[in-house]
Structure 1
Amino acid sequence: MADDLISTRALIEAMLRDDATIDAGDLYAVGNALGMSDQQIRLTVKRLVTEGQFTVAGRGRRAVLTATGETISTITPDRELVHLMYSQDRGGAQWDGVWHLAGFAVPESARDARAVLRDTIRSLGGAAVQGGLYTSPHAWEPELRAAAREVDADRFLTTLTCSDLDVGGRTGRDAAAHLWPLDELAAGHTRLADRAASTLDATDTADRNERLVMAVALVAEFTRAHEDDPLLPPELLPADWIGARARSLVDAAWAALSAAEPESTIRLLRWYDAR
């Protein structure tokens, strides 16, 4: 089962257990099933050890990798973000109708700071309204100000809020559809829904390694689908939004995988559980 969405490094991080260790036997078995060679896995492990992110005791498939404290903190998923996804899907996080806007005009002499601000806005799901002006339905001011201060650009950043955003005559759902690439986002969530459905169908008859392979692949698809998703509130999305349906299927797939591996200490099986 070759899957180019999954890097060797992502696989290694996904195999982390509750005690911050990784069983190399499981790692190689799952990696091989995903089309990765032993040498590919071995070289990545060696690089991560050299970088100080893991230590290794033993050799080959009998080895045990242990993550450093800093590594553990960086690869743990954002549980608050996962909670927001499912809360919005289930009507537990209603939008207050407030648009958050940010604008900046950074001189050419500080173009690196301009890039930082632009990248931060994009990472927070902001969309460009027009040159130098961006918006999001989510409060983002603390994160934007913190990023600006880090590059001494706070004086260039302007933030404001409004409840009557009009983009070329478009408001509400029409404005959101104009500002964000909803068709592309929907395509990604359709792929996620298909992956989750196939995982759900196959879990009961799969063996342990097959279930781990499916879990790693599901995480990769989940990550890809949400990478550029601004998580717009339902009030700004089309009715029966595929993102909500995809996440519902993912939740069911995680529940099935976890139930099939009740003794497993691999954290991946519980990372994205909606509960």
Structure 2
Amino acid sequence: MPPTPETLSTRTLVLAMAGADGSLDTGPLFDVAAACGMSDDQVRLCLRRMTADGTLTPQGGRGRRAAFRLRPGASAEVLPELEFLDYALGQDAGRHPWDGTWGLVGFTIPEGERGQRDRLRRQLLYLGGGLVPGGLYVSPNPWEDLVSAAAADLGVTGHLTMARTGRLSIGTTTDPAALAADIWPLADVHTGYQRFEAALRRRLGRLDGRPVDPPTVLRDALITIVAFAEASGPDPLLPPELVPRADWAGRSARALLLTAAERYTSVLGADDLPYGLRRLLTT
């Protein structure tokens, strides 16, 4: 598993710097880019490419006074999904106890619709599903509404089969926690969260007793958002009853993320905090 990144790609920086309404002012963007070691020409080239592919729409101005509008939903490429984070925090607080059942999803989509079939597979994995023998996807969470919405968006509802059962076995394995350990790469997820925490503690340590350079602090805040999205992406958000260890790093990583949001707010001020981090304070 690659280490938690301590910098950002130019495209990721642009996506993460957009406001809640998709607005992007290039003045602060160039300042933070410099703190990331990027040249102005590198940023301008990225802006031109993102405009050409439709991700950005120019709103007037030139150079450091240029303004853009981000395509709706584009920032989801790099920011954590708040609905999932809120659900995970509820699990951490004991608000979503497991009812002991498993949701199963299967589908038979014709070869002529291979693209839709592949997109549905990716969406099921994104929703935390795990693949079990026989081509079924399973989740211990109440995911039926999310799966139905995804299938409807793809136009494949008629090819979908869903069920929920209180008994799941794979071969001779019936213990729920053992099943979860077989279905999902939980050791890798745990390690990814640990790396996120270690890197974030280093970044937060740079705030102690040092003069504040706003672009550098903003860079670190943006790296934190993107790094958490990467660490949490593979996490199926299993209920506490199914996580493999009492010191599951997902819990401590989420707690540290909220602490970081508060620290960065105290340094930068709520108005200057990047939207991706500021919105975490409302979870």
Is the counterpart of residue 224 in structure 1 residue 239 in structure 2? Answer: no
Distance 1:112 1:263, change over 3 A: closer
- Give the drift of 1:233: 1.3
* Paired position in structure 2 for 1:267: 275
1:215 aligns with 2:221: yes
The amino acid of 2:221's aligned partner reads: A
Seq. identity, %: 34
Change (3 A) 1:203 1:19: farther
The answer on whether the counterparts of 1:6 and 1:217 sit within 8 Å (CA) in structure 2 is yes
Change (3 A) 1:148 1:195: same
Equivalent in the alignment of 2:206: 202
- Take 2:199 and 2:72, find their aligned partners in 1: how far apart are those partners? 27
Pair 1:134 & 2:137 matched? yes
**2:33 is the counterpart of 1:27:** no
The residue matched to 2:235 in structure 1 has which SS? coil
Q: Compute the RMSD of aligned alpha carbons.
A: 2.4
CA distance in 2, matches of 1:180, 1:121: 13
**1: distance between equivalents of 2:92 and 2:154?**
36
Between the two proteins, the alignment pairs up a number of residues equal to 270
TM-aligned CA deviation for residue 154 of structure 1: 3.0
The change in CA–CA distance for 1:147 and 1:261 in structure 2 (over 3 A counts) is closer
Deviates more, 1:89-98 or 1:76-85: 76-85
- 2:102 maps to which residue? 99
Contact 1:5 / 1:221 at 8 angstroms: preserved in 2?
Answer: no
State the Cα deviation string for residues 215-262 of structure 1 (Å, max 9, x = none): 111112101101221111111102120111111111111110011112
Distance in 2 of aligned mates of 1:110 and 1:23: 41
TM-score (norm 1): 0.87
Pair 1:256–1:101, CA change in 2 (3 A): same
Query: Structure 1 unaligned runs (5+)?
Result: none
Distance 1:173 1:129, change over 3 A: same
The 3 A distance-change label for structure 1 pair 188 and 160 is same
Residues 111/14 of structure 1: CA separation in 2 closer, same or farther (3 Å cut): closer
- Secondary structure class of the residue paired with 2:68: strand
Corresponding letter in the other structure for 1:268: G
Aligned to 1:240: 247
Which residues in structure 2 correspond to 1:173-188 (within 5 Å)? 173-188=177-192
What code does the residue aligned with 2:242 have? L
How is 1:154-169 mapped onto 2 (pairs within 5 angstroms)?
Answer: 154-168=157-171, 169=173
> Structure 1 residues 88 and 274, CA, compared in 2 at 3 Å: closer, same or farther?
farther
Contact 2:55 2:74 in 1 (8 A): no
1:159 CA displacement: 0.7
1:106–1:21 Cα change, 3 Å: closer
- Could you tell me the TM-score, scaled by structure 2's length? 0.85
- Structure 1 residues 113 and 14 mapped into 2: Cα distance closer, same or farther (>3 Å)? closer
Question: 2:23 touches 2:68 (CA, 8 Å); kept in 1?
Answer: yes
1:46 to 2:48 alignment:
yes
**Matches of 2:168 and 2:279, distance apart in 1:** 36
Letter aligned with residue 188 of structure 1: G
Give secondary structure in 2 for the equivalent of 1:159: strand
Matched with 1:75 is 75
Query: How many angstroms does 1:173 deviate by?
Result: 1.0
Tell me if structure 2 keeps the 8 A contact 1:254–1:272.
Answer: yes
For each residue in 1:31-81, what CA deviation from the matched residue of structure 2 results, as whole angstroms up to 9, or x when unmatched? Answer: 1222322222101212333426332433222x142325xx35542653222
The answer to which of 84-93 and 106-115 deviates more is 106-115
- Once the 2 structures are TM-superposed, how far is the Cα of residue 158 of structure 1 from its aligned partner? 1.3
Cα distance between partner residues in 2 of 1:32 and 1:128:
43
The equivalent position to 2:63 in structure 1, one of 57, 60, 64, is 60
